[in-house]
Amino acid sequence: MNRFAGLALLMPYLRPHRGRVIFALLSLLVAAGTVLAFGACLRALIDRGFAQGRPDVLNYALASLLVVALVLAIASGTRFYLVSWLGERVVGDLRRDLFSHVVRLGPAWFEVKRSGDVMSRISSDAQLIEQVIGSSASVALRNTLMCVGGVVMLIVTNPKLALWVLALVPIVVAPIIVFGRRVRKLSREAQARVADLVSEGGETLDAVRTVQAFAQEERAGLRFAQTTERAFEAAIARTGQRGLMTTLVIFIVFAAVGFLLWMGGQDVIAGEITAGDLSAFVFYAVLVATSGGAISETIGDLQRASGAAERLAELREEQPVIREPAQPKHLPKPGTGAVAFENVSFCYPTRPQSLALDGFDLRIAPGETVAIVGPSGAGKTTVFNLLLRFYDPEKGTIRLDGVDSRDLRLAELRRAMAIVPQEPVLFSASVAENIRYGRPDASDAEVREAAAAASALTFIEALPQGFATDLGTRGVRLSGGQRQRIAVARALLCDPLVLLLDEATSALDAESELAVQKALDRAMHKRTTLVIAHRLATVQKADRIVVVDEGRVVDVGTHTELVRRGGLYARLAELQFNISAAAS
């Protein structure tokens, strides 16, 4: 049973629908029973109808066959509907729970996992589960019942021949056990290769503009072809083992049936059994044979699905690194937006030997605008990642309005902040849905007001359907400046205590930058704001500038003070302004 241990994942999802499960099992039992009843009808038809020449018995036998056929049809149709419904329902619930679990795992987990592999598990692996519940499991159970029932009827019909059947059973089962182990192992390998294929294709399509810009279509196609070939080879290896298992089982079963027919024919000739008995025995022997062959095929499906279920179980057992507090505290009402980093040290899980922040200290007063500058890799983005609690520091404390961020519910902490990233993420939805992403319950008037404050109202109203216009994948139908203003509107609608601006204008042209900067100035008014910027011209209006290098605060002051003091900020400023002057 260990070969099917992975399928235990499905039990909690079947339990709420136990009534349908029971009804499906009853339908299956009725269908199997009516098939077995055909043998008795066949015996009566031959021994009493044909052999005795009695039309009344013949008519009765025919009527019985029709009734049995009708019951079989109704029971089979009912079973098919119920198991199909259960398959779709269980897989739908499983996918929902898995996706809800995955989106809570946090960025640290996704540093080492590929989203394509995750989605392959949720889609392809879950589809195998649906196949098992909606088809393979009921087919296996039905054939098992008919096989067992057929053996019982063989014993009732002719005990001597039935003993031969039972003696042949181990010969049939042996290939199923031997090859079944190989099929299960190869099934996991095949599913892993399919996950690679999905991940490779998704990554390439997401970056299709870059692929085409560098004329790498042929190389991308070749890489995908190689991944496809590996998936094909893994699938063929699995299919070859299943095919060999099925071939052996079917040959052994039907060879055994031929042998039993030969022995039964000898008994008929000797007068030990009637022709009706032999006909019924042949019927049950063929039933046992076909059921055994079907079982050997469905066992391969069940093992494949068990492997898929194990992969899904592994995904479900992944635990988020960032945990909700056991006894959460709440932010004071009304909040002020005071932020404090107290001797914070942190290194990323994938780079445990390198400190991203080292003894980082910073206090930001309510309503203050603080710019964080420094060279690439200095730790600026890490400050935002820790503030949003995507990660927890190894040492030190981060406070919001005096409350340790680890004592707050993640939702409450993150709703107190809003971020405008360097490359805003927009979804395949309407303008209005993208703006109200952080506040789904916001009214149309509030969405419009946020868009106006973000200097986005004019271009939104010029779109074909205005706020109802679908933006396409990642907002591809908008320019960079327009996407950025949608992101600003989204942040404004959340009305956060703390606004986080991560290189919000660095990738824009001068005109777009001016429009976005005006929107940001409105957003920053009387609101605690942290600004990350490489371009020093964008942070000169900040109340304070914090200079970060190698994960430490190395200087703090206004632009004028920092330039006058010299040091890292002065060198960065001189470099940028000299470059600008040279360009002019």
CATH number, domain at 168? 1.20.1560.10
- Residue recorded with tokens 């204008």: 505
Structure-token pair, residue 408: 């707050």
Boundary-marking domain end, from 254, 284, 317? 317
Is residue 304 located within the same domain as residue 368? no
Residue 475 resides in a domain: no
244 or 504: which leads in pLDDT: 244
Residue 461 resides in a domain: no
Class of residue 513 by CB neighbours under 10 A (exposed 0-12, middle 13-18, buried 19+): buried
Is residue 241 located within the same domain as residue 296? yes
User: 3 pLDDT exceeds 60?
Assistant: no
Tally the domains of the chain: 2
Least Cα distance to 366 among 398, 397, 401 occurs for 401
Is residue 197 located within the same domain as residue 220? yes
Is residue 311 located within the same domain as residue 197? yes
Taking a C-beta distance cutoff of 8 angstroms, is the pair 504, 420 a contact?
Answer: yes
Query: Do the bridges between strand 498-502 and strand 528-532 make them parallel or antiparallel, or are there none, so unpaired?
Result: parallel
Which residues 6+ apart lie within 8 Å of 419 measured at CB? 384, 388, 491, 499, 500, 501, 502
Residue 348 resides in a domain: yes
Q: What is the pLDDT of residue 116?
A: 66
Is residue 307 located within the same domain as residue 357? no
- Residue recorded with tokens 């942040």: 491
| Averaged pLDDT score across all residues of the chain | 79
Class of residue 497 by CB neighbours under 10 A (exposed 0-12, middle 13-18, buried 19+): buried
Domain that holds residue 409: 331-416+532-584
Residue 274 to residue 285: CA distance in whole angstroms: 16
Q: What is the pLDDT of residue 250?
A: 76
Boundary-marking domain end, from 267, 284, 317? 317
Is residue 278 located within the same domain as residue 345? no
Residue 484 resides in a domain: no
Residue 190 resides in a domain: yes
Is residue 172 located within the same domain as residue 256? yes
pLDDT tens per residue, range 83-119: 888 888 888 888 888 888 887 777 777 766 766 667 7
Q: What is the pLDDT of residue 399?
A: 92
The mean per-residue pLDDT over the stretch 517-533 comes to: 78
Residue 577 resides in a domain: yes
